[in-house]
A and B are shown apart, each in its own frame.
Chain A
């Protein structure tokens, strides 16, 4: 079977669960061609790395897989900071959670409307990475 591999410069995986990180990385292998996949245990570590990259004009991730429940800085707190950053490109952010708390879905919707980036909501478990998780065709343009 021929699978179209998408070319992506940089991907962030922010999750405190190593099994989830393993799973996402494994699934990405079959759909994405990415030389720079970085994983972070919590939002704070990811944010610090991103700020450093922006300062050094390094590659900013095109796709982020973001867990919600994490110690120190959780997914929502990360988003709160992220939307204030001067990121020119529209980034695809996949919010991944095992939570079924309706308040989490409401928060996702709040951020979806608030920021310019593409926000997906995915409930665990995930078995494959969808095409829309990696690329969006900009219909408006």
Chain B
């Protein structure tokens, strides 16, 4: 202790900012900078004179043996140690150098301590960064390459080698490297880019295809850039990345998109997607064709801009309902009316469109044009109606037939009953006459019924183009005696060349019946006047026959004017069922007949000849 007291304190040393300590051969701290002492947690005024061993052992990472060595070997040596205070770590590097006097006698050891925490941190970070980079490049399959111009040496990284499926010690030449690219476009392109980079340093980054050592085709991105020194290109450095999976995935996505677009566009349905405000966000070709415009003109539009206001409101209400309830509307019959007023029948479905969280963000709509179907349905309904009418007519006819035949047989039966009971010869004769009369009536009735049945069964009798005037003239000649007797004035205003489509026998029957009726129901106080007219109208020729006769109380008899009456056996006038027959004939030819009349003024019958075939 005496010696320690004799060694003077170097005031200069005490103030040094770097950490310096002097230790004597007994490992006792003889002097130190205040900064050094503070690193070991010692008071600058008290630390001196303590054992250096005790001080160092306060730190971690240093053993007494190693410390002993450094203090005694008289050689420069370095120790790393760290101070741990709570969670903080502080790294130090202490250099031990022998302490000589002027005669090169060893006095002890000079210890220089440095805080190397920052350097250590940096080292660690660098290490971390390197590991990260390596991991990253492995995961992302990004490799690298380097080409030294001076040595003509091409170096591949591990990943680059792996992508090429070559062994980890493979070292290619430039031409070998380029050979891996698929011959044709890819190899030409990479060769060009490589040489251009060599020449003037143009960087490149290109998607290309290589063929690996195992013969697989793979998509890669090859990038390269020049490294210059003093303006001279020294090296080329680049990345090399396997993007095969991405490219394939992209191709698949494109394919499925293409498939979906083709499918949606070619569906014979109008397909549309709407957002929550019922604005169209997708339309297919059918929808565009239906609205006669392009997708650009439809996207973002609502039904209010495309359809009739009322229809648009109905559609919007449907949209809201579907999006509110999340229940699809399926196969609803709807009518769309476009702005121009044309309407189309659709079978429409609307399905709510949900995002990944199950929240509705719009709807998919599909509409099938069923206008044709609807029309067919209407036609079918018409046909059913026609059939029902025909059926009713048939039943009616059956009743008439049964009634008429029954009335004759009833007469036979009654007369025969009389005949059996009658004793008087004169009366018997009378009854016999009546029986023969009844028999004639029955035959007449059967003939008349036959005539009616003929019309109904020969529906397909051939219609011909017939000159109307010629037929009128013929009927007039046949009836000349009858017309003259009744002092009939006959006015024919029909144009000479006018023709109608009719079954020849029917046309004659129609004219004959109408002319005869006009005279028969004449006004007894006037001479009959008959006027005939005809005109073309649309698909019909209207043939009119007017008289100045008794007229018909249409309010009362309008319903049965063309009906079949029980007039067959009243043989005074065989034409009693004339109107019934001609109505059937006209209808069988696809036409119709109407009447207008006023009591005591006269009647006009209009016959519509159907000029279309059937």
Contacts and interface: CB of A to CB of B under 8 A. Distances in A.
Nearest to B564: A69
Interface stretch (B28-36, B260-268, B403-411): B403-411
B565 interface: yes
- Which of B402, B414, B556 is most buried by chain A, counting CB atoms within 10 A of its CB? B414
B174 to A, nearest CB: 111
Nearest to B441: A19
Interface string B431-445: 000100110000000
A69 B566 contact: yes
Contact of A69 (B409, B434, B556, B565): B565
Interface in B405-438: 406-407, 409-411, 413-415, 417-418, 434, 437-438
B350 interface: no
A101 B399 CA distance: 6
Interface string A83-98: 0000000000000011
B399 A23 contact: no
A110 interface: no
| B interface SS class | helix
Nearest to B422: A26
Please tell me the size bucket of the interface on A. 20 to 34
Please tell me the size bucket of the interface on B. 20 to 34
A98 B406 CA distance: 6
B442 to A, nearest CB: 11
A97 B565 CA distance: 14
B566 to A, nearest CB: 3
Interface string B276-316: 00000000000000000000000000000000000000000
Nearest to A77: B556
B434 A19 contact: yes
B576 interface: yes
B417 A127 contact: yes
Given A23-B418, A26-B418, A100-B406, A71 B434 contact: no
Contacts of B567: 16, 71
Interface in A18-76: 19-20, 22-23, 26, 41, 69-71
Contacts of A125: 409-411, 413-414, 417
A60 to B, nearest CB: 24
A19 B406 CA distance: 14
Interface in B552-594: 556, 565-567, 569-570, 576
A71 B414 contact: no
A124 interface: yes
Given A69-B565, A70-B566, A71-B576, A20 B411 contact: yes
A99 interface: yes
Nearest to B570: A16
B534 to A, nearest CB: 30
Interface in B450-475: none
Contacts of A22: 434
A125 B415 CA distance: 10
Interface of A: 16-17, 19-20, 22-23, 26, 41, 69-71, 77, 97-101, 124-127
| 5 closest cross-chain pairs (CB), A and B | A124-B410, A69-B566, A125-B410, A98-B407, A98-B406
Given A71-B576, A100-B403, A125-B417, 5 more contacts: A19-B415, A20-B411, A22-B434, A23-B414, A71-B565
